[in-house]
Chain A
Amino acid sequence: MEQEVWTFSDYIMLVVSGVLVNNILLIRFLGNCPFLGVSKKMDTAVGMTFGVIFVLTCTGPITWFVEHYLLEKFDIVYLETLAFILTIAVFVQLVEMVIKKVSPGLYRGLGIYLPLITTNCCILGTCFYNIRFKFGFMPTVVFSFASALGFGLALIIMAGIRERFHYARIPKCFQDTSIGLITAGLIGLSFFVFAGLAK
């Protein structure tokens, strides 16, 4: 994906790639913990989705700066895992503090998801992909957003299905997480249909 000039259609393809082709949950299989943890109810899934979209769209560019203007300059790229985790954790903390003060309403909606996001491997994973794919700044922003959107899409699909499990007669040995994992696998398989659509 190394290229100098990015046209609008390239960005569209990047969104398609982030949401469908390289879906962070279903194709990359990162962030399975929140995928199974908060997908039991639609409300929490939607809340988590907005939290991830917000945090990832911000942390993607920030970690990009950290990588290119700090780690690369001092030739210590091997410390990027550490630096990224630190950056993400600090950012989430900061956001939590700010919205607690500025908007108590938003805090009540998103507050409980923010600590979960700190340790969400989707965030860290996408930050790494931004570097691995050698994206410039704008593609990083777009891909981070698209990736979070993909996370939300998969999570909401999953929550919709799992809410219906309440009314289904599931054999005892398959209940709860087992059927969740099987469902995740099947949705993942269906998402491979998009494989040829974009890079």
Chain B
Amino acid sequence: MEVLKATIYPILVMGGLAAIYALGLGIAARIFYVYVDPRIAEVEEFLGGANCGGCGYAGCSDCAAAIVEGKAPVNACVAVGPDKWEAVAKILGVSVEAGERQVAMIMCRGAKDKAKRKFQYMGIEDCRAALLAGGGDKECQYGCLGLGTCVKNCPFGALSMGEDGLPKVDKDKCTGCGTCTRVCPRGIPKLVPVSLKIAVICSSHDTPPVVKKICEVGCQGCGLCKKACPEKAITIVDSLSVVDPSKCTLCGKCFEKCPTGAIQQLLPA
């Protein structure tokens, strides 16, 4: 009898407990059933999967849900290319209105030997931390601090720190997610279309005499390029030269006139 008890009771009690729990869970699953669109999981498979936040949503699954609900465009994920957008569009039965691929560009040429320093910074290796120490070690209050916060935060490994103390962008790896633009305390990396042919690689809004004193390669906003441009594609905004790429013919007159070489041809014409 004792033996019987010792075998039957555990089986009965544990089995009964499990049965009750299973029943409870089963009923609860019916009562608390939430319909999840199966397309969300399908769409998510074609997204970047890095949770980079470049789309503006909390993560890839959030973005997938927004795409399915129609709150976000099918090409919301900037981390993948047009072929993935096509796949997403196919799931939802819509067409893609593709925009041009964007890549990050470092808008500063103030390398170690080109831009002056106020002091020698020896603190935490993070641009955000350096900025707290007297506004950063660079004389230029707009320039790249060169401690690689963008490099460390790039979810795709597209940035690397160059010998000259400026980050370098690998255009093939860059997906244009914009993480670097968000983490940089000075907003030096900017997203530009990959086919951009000409740009002024400087972020300084300082006046000409100030730039002349502290940086060999900065845009002084002197306006020589503006005068030289036959197409009137260049304007000076707040002591910084801005090129309108749609008007520019790449005649090259501005490159000759620029005293510091801040205005640059990025791709062959």
Q: Within the assembled complex, what's the spacing in Å between the Cα atoms of A79 and B10?
A: 8
Is A166 an interface position by the 8 A CB rule? yes
Do residues A167 and B28 form an inter-chain contact, with CB atoms below 8 A?
Answer: no
Contact of A166 among B13, B32, B34, B126 (CB under 8 A): B126
A198 at the interface (CB under 8 A from B): no
Task: Give the size of the chain A interface in residues (CB under 8 angstroms).
Answer: 24
**Given A75-B9, A100-B32, A169-B125, residue A83 in contact with residue B25 (CB < 8 A):** no
- B side interface size, CB within 8 A: 21
How far is A94 from B17 in the complex, measured between Cα atoms in Å? 15
Report the nearest B residue to A164, measured CB to CB. Answer: B124
Cβ–Cβ contact A94 & B13, under 8 A? no
- Secondary structure at the B interface, as helix, strand, loop or mixed, is helix
Q: Compute how far the CA of A76 lies from the CA of B33 in the bound complex, rounded to whole angstroms.
A: 36
Q: Does B91 reach chain A (CB closer than 8 Å)?
A: no
CA distance A66 to B14 in the complex (A): 11
The answer, yes or no, to whether A116 is at the interface (CB within 8 Å) is no
For residues 143 through 195 of chain A, which have their beta carbon under 8 Å from a beta carbon of chain B?
166-169
Minimum CB–CB distance from A165 to chain B (whole Å) comes to 11
Q: Which residues of B contact A66 (CB under 8 A)?
A: 17
Say if the beta carbon of A90 comes within 8 Å of chain B: yes
Would you call B13 and A86 a contact (CB within 8 A)?
no
Q: Is the CB of B14 within 8 A of A83?
A: yes
Q: Provided the pairs A70-B13, A74-B13, A76-B10 are in contact, do residues A94 and B28 lie with their beta carbons within 8 angstroms?
A: yes
Question: Does A90 contact B14, Cβ atoms closer than 8 Å?
Answer: no
- Cβ of A138: which chain B residues have Cβ within 8 Å of it? none
- How far is the CB of B129 from the nearest CB of chain A, in Å? 6
Q: Once the chains are docked, how many angstroms separate the CA of A66 from the CA of B10? A: 13
Q: Which residue of B lies closest to A71 (CB)?
A: B13
Q: Is the CB of A83 within 8 A of B17?
A: yes
Q: Which residues of A contact B34 (CB under 8 A)?
A: 100-101
Assembled-state Cα–Cα distance A186/B177 (Å): 40
Residues in B whose Cβ lies below 8 Å from that of A102: 32
Q: In the complex, how many angstroms separate the beta carbon of A40 from the nearest chain B beta carbon?
A: 14
A195 → B minimal CB distance (Å): 36
- Within B1-30, the residues touching A (CB, 8 Å) are 9-10, 12-14, 17-18, 21, 24-25, 28-29
Q: What chain A residues lie within 8 Å of B125 (beta carbons)?
A: 167, 169
Of chain A, the residue at the smallest CB distance from B18 is A86
Say whether, besides A98-B32, A100-B34, A76 and B24 are in contact (CB < 8 Å). no
A94 touches B9 (CB 8 A): no
For residue A197, CB closer than 8 A to chain B, the reply is no
Q: How far is the CA of A90 from the CA of B9 in the complex (A)?
A: 22
A76-B124 in contact given A83-B14, A86-B18, A94-B25 (Cβ < 8 Å)? no
Residues of A with C-beta under 8 A to B9: 74-76
Q: How far is the CA of A100 from the CA of B32 in the complex (A)?
A: 8
Q: Tell me the B residues contacting A by CB distance below 8 Å.
A: 9-10, 12-14, 17-18, 21, 24-25, 28-29, 31-34, 58, 124-126, 129
Contacts A/B (CB < 8 Å), 9 sampled: A70-B17, A94-B25, A98-B32, A100-B32, A101-B31, A108-B58, A167-B125, A167-B129, A168-B124
Q: Identify 7 new A-B residue pairs, CB closer than 8 A, beyond the known A76-B14, A86-B18, A101-B31.
A: A74-B9, A79-B10, A86-B14, A87-B17, A90-B24, A97-B32, A168-B124
